[in-house]
């Protein structure tokens, strides 16, 4: 089972960016945790981060062409603005789970809308790094039930 984790803009700043909201773990540390958790679940997990919408769309397309089974997606600010990323995920027809470190519904009103949620298997928000780990577990379980 092959899972791709898609990290959106500014997540490369994790560990130093607003640690009261996003925690102190770096993106590299989160990716290592996801890989280890994936191994426990029987999945290969790779990660990709970009601050550029088109690069994220291209990555989603390439991953599908290479046979990815599903995605864990933290599109960050693009969650609330990107029809292009939502269309890319819909277009490749692979299941995905939307995740967020913070509880987006306890934050600014503009963060309450997600362009990705309607097509997602589910959304996990507000549990810090555990949002990623819970999302990964949920996606793997979904994929196992679907085969």
Give the residue numbers marked as catalytic. Answer: 22, 100
Q: In this structure, is the dihedral angle defined by the CA atoms of residues 88, 96, 56 and 110, taken in order, positive or negative?
A: positive
Contact criterion met (CB below 8 Å) for 133 and 33? yes
Can you name the residues that pair with 124 across neighbouring β-strands? 99
DSSP string, 59-78: HHHHHHHTT--EEEEE-GGG
Distance CA 111, CA 76 (A): 10
Dmax over Cα atoms in the chain, in whole Å? 41
Q: CA torsion 4→24→126→144, rounded to 10°? A: 30
Q: Could you give phi then psi for residue 61, rounded to 5 degrees?
A: -60, -50
């Amino acid at each position: 089972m092959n899972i791709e984790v898609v990290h959106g803009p500014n997540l490369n700043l994790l560990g130093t960016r607003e640690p009261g909201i996003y925690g102190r773990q770096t993106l590299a540390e989160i990716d290592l945790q996801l890989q280890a958790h994936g191994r426990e679940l029987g999945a290969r997990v790779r990660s990709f981060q970009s601050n550029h919408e088109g690069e994220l769309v291209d990555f989603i397309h390439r991953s599908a062409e290479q046979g990815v089974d599903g995605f864990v997606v933290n599109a960050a600010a693009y969650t609330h603005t990107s029809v292009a990323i939502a269309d890319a995920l819909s277009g490749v027809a692979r299941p995905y789970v939307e995740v967020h470190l913070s509880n987006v519904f306890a934050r600014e009103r503009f963060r309450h809308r997600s362009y990705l949620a309607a097509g997602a298997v589910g959304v996990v928000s507000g549990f810090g790094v555990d949002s990623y780990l819970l999302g990964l577990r949920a996606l793997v379980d979904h994929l196992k039930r679907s085969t």
